[in-house]
Amino acid sequence: MSIASIKAQLAQYGINPNRALGQNFLADDDAAEAIAASCKGAVIEIGPGMGALTEKLLNREAPVAAIEIDRRMAEILRSRFGDKLILVEGDALKANIKAVAQSLGGEVSVAGNLPYYITTPICTRLITCGANIRYMTLMMQKEAAERFFAEPGDRVYGPLTVLAQHYYDINTLLRLSREAYYPQPEVDSVVLCLERKQAEAHPALQWVLESAFAMRRKTLANNLKAAGISDKRLNEICEAVGIGGNIRAERLTTAQFAAISGEIEKGGK
């Protein structure tokens, strides 16, 4: 969709973009085509808006489900795509993504021009919700994308970094300037491609990360104890993983977090 056609569509439906919902619509057909081309099989789209990306996804002839919170957008999507699109009206942070994936046949790709205010929670949810998501192609603000490539000690290194790097290979597909959107956001964007790798499943990993990073300036030992790990277990876990409890979470590698999770899964808290 061009900026002119986005404006025309908004005018036709009497809609003002809702900034609180991160409504910066994509006005770059080549980018939308590239995102659609990177998906494999059935796709779940997060935040379809007026359908700039949805249209390209539907052209691929594999089923597409889209989760949209704004009723006004849902109305436009229904009139544009009818029954071709499986529209889930609601909050992507609350929707049962696993059930949506199962309804599409199991293994899915996820795509989306993510609303900036839910980037971290929705990515975390996509990784941890138990749905069979093999590929993700996600457009986000440049600063948010940095989190996916961060290394221990970096300012933006955190739970999402570790979850994403443990379960997925991550590559940059596109960089887009702010001019590729209407209304224009204040920052540039990046499109990341994530492909699931053969990684051991660690059901405790999310809990470990949330606990370990709860207070960034505190040590691993203090954070894990505050989350309910006994002194005895803490010593056993640190010894098994080969780390000291005085380290801060931001210094631990993805492999060390996976090892801590493995110890907790084996021997409890």
Binding interface with ligand SAM (CB under 6 A) = 21-26, 47-49, 52-53, 67-70, 73, 91-93, 113, 115, 118
Q: How far is Cα 39 from Cα 109, in angstroms, rounded to an integer?
A: 6
**Residue nearer to ligand SAM on the CB measure, 119 or 161:** 119
**Residue nearer to ligand SAM on the CB measure, 18 or 171:** 18
Element (H, E) at 169: strand 168-176
Shortest gap between Cβ of 65 and ligand SAM (angstroms)? 12
Q: Reduced to 3 states, what is the DSSP secondary structure of residue 175? A: strand
**Residue nearer to ligand SAM on the CB measure, 138 or 243:** 138
Shortest gap between Cβ of 35 and ligand SAM (angstroms)? 9
Shortest gap between Cβ of 150 and ligand SAM (angstroms)? 23
Shortest gap between Cβ of 138 and ligand SAM (angstroms)? 11
Go through 66-86 and write b for each residue having 16 or more CB atoms within 10 A of its CB, e for each that does not. Answer: bbbbbebbbebbeebbeeebb
Dmax over CA atoms of the chain, in Å, equals 66
**Residue nearer to ligand SAM on the CB measure, 92 or 264:** 92
How big, in percent rounded to 5, are the helix, strand and coil portions of the chain?
A: 50, 20, 35
